[in-house]
């Protein structure tokens, strides 16, 4: 069993994305989840780390000591202890925890190395409506936190309103991106979703009706991906693709306040969802409103729905759609 350290404030969304890199994910407490196995933590956006779970108890120093004393420590080499009061929810003295657990490890024959340890023991404390817990685990995997290197404003081609890479990574993970997968963005814009899908190993296809966007998207893809991508000019409601030709579709719809085609937007998105249903078994659609009724009319089943507040006047609605 593993304990996952979640990022952001929306635990339900983070846990859902974590399923693309772990199995049997369940919420444990605010900011923490458990998983039976892990396989792709490095590519996750809203999971920081995964640890091999030693045990769990109440969020106190005493319980942390008891868990470690009862655990079988089948490891050799140097160790470091890191204690975390997740989101400052418990008020536990993390320094006291680190000293207490470090002393136990020294008693058990471990050498302490805070700079470059062979193993890292993480003591995680969290409390809230979702539960209260102290979870101890050996660090097993960490996600790659390089999203700032791909800030939209630093790419060769930039347009205001571009999605941040961290959210884009989560969305393509939910859409099924990964090695041996083929992912389509039929409204690719500047290519942010395609970049993230390509970086986790997927072959990516983008479409857009605007030549300017296709050229710019091509510049961005060439800057971050070493092949494995293709762009075509065309509308999302009339894709030049055969049935079942991709593994997942993910797209960010035009927003009504920004779109020049507000009067036609509902028809466009409804038809795009129908085309997505024709070419793929899974789809993630994002917008400034819920497109649930249009998705159901197109034959999709809504597997999950999320609302992510961007700022005072914009909330992004995320729908995960399956056959």
DSSP calls for 172-234? HHHHT-STT-EEEETT-TTSHHHHHHHHTT-EEEEEES-HHHHHHHHHHHHHH-SS-EEEEE-
Does 154 lie in the same domain as 296? yes
State how many domains the chain has: 2
Looking at per-residue pLDDT, the higher value among 71 and 75 belongs to: 71
Does 311 lie in the same domain as 164? yes
SS3 content of the chain, % helix, strand, coil (to 5): 30, 35, 35
Does 260 lie in the same domain as 199? yes
| pTM greater than the 0.75 cutoff | yes
Beta pairing partners, 264: none
Does 106 lie in the same domain as 23? yes
Does 176 lie in the same domain as 255? yes
Domain boundary among 110, 142, 174: 142
Does 124 lie in the same domain as 96? yes
- Taking only the tens place, the pLDDT of each residue in 159-213 is 998 999 999 999 999 999 999 999 999 999 999 999 999 999 999 999 999 999 9
* CATH code (residue 34): 3.30.2130.30
Does 187 lie in the same domain as 85? no
Does 161 lie in the same domain as 124? no
Give residue 74's pLDDT.
82
Helices (H), the chain: 11-18, 61-70, 94-107, 165-175, 192-199, 211-224, 262-279, 292-297
Domain boundary among 93, 117, 142: 142
* CATH code (residue 218): 3.40.50.150
Domain boundary among 142, 176, 192: 142
Does 173 lie in the same domain as 117? no
Does 291 lie in the same domain as 251? yes
Does 315 lie in the same domain as 170? yes
Q: Is the pLDDT of residue 130 over 90?
A: no
Structural domain for 65, as ranges? 2-142
Does 165 lie in the same domain as 137? no
């Amino acid at each position: 069993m593993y304990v996952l350290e979640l990022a952001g404030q929306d635990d339900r969304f983070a846990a859902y994305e974590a399923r693309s890199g772990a199995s049997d994910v369940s919420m444990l407490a605010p900011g923490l989840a458990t998983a039976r196995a892990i396989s792709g933590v490095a590519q996750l956006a809203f999971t920081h780390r995964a640890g091999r779970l030693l045990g769990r108890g109440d969020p106190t120093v005493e319980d942390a000591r008891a868990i470690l004393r009862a655990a079988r420590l089948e490891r050799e080499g140097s160790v470091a202890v890191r204690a975390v009061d997740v989101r400052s929810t418990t008020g536990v003295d993390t320094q006291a925890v680190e000293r207490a657990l470090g002393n136990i490890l020294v008693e058990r024959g471990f050498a302490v190395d805070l700079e470059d340890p062979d193993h890292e023991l993480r003591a995680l404390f969290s409390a809230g409506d979702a539960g209260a817990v102290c979870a101890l685990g050996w660090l097993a995997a960490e996600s790659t936190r390089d999203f700032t290197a791909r800030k939209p404003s630093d790419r060769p081609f930039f347009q205001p309103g571009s999605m941040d890479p961290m959210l884009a990574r989560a969305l393509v993970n939910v859409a099924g991106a990964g090695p041996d997968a083929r992912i389509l963005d039929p409204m690719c814009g500047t290519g942010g979703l395609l970049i993230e899908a390509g970086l986790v190993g997927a072959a990516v296809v983008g479409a857009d009706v605007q030549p300017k966007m296709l050229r710019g998207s091509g510049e961005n893809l060439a800057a971050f991906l070493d092949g494995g991508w293709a762009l075509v000019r065309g509308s999302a409601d009339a894709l030049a693709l055969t049935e079942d030709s991709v593994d997942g579709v993910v797209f960010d719809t035009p927003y009504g306040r920004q779109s020049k085609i507000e009067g036609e937007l509902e028809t466009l998105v409804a038809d795009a969802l129908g085309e997505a249903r024709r070419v793929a078994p899974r789809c993630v659609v994002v917008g400034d409103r819920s497109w649930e009724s249009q998705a159901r009319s197109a034959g999709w089943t809504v597997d999950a729905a999320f609302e992510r507040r961007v700022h005072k006047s914009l909330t992004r609605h995320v729908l995960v759609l399956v056959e």
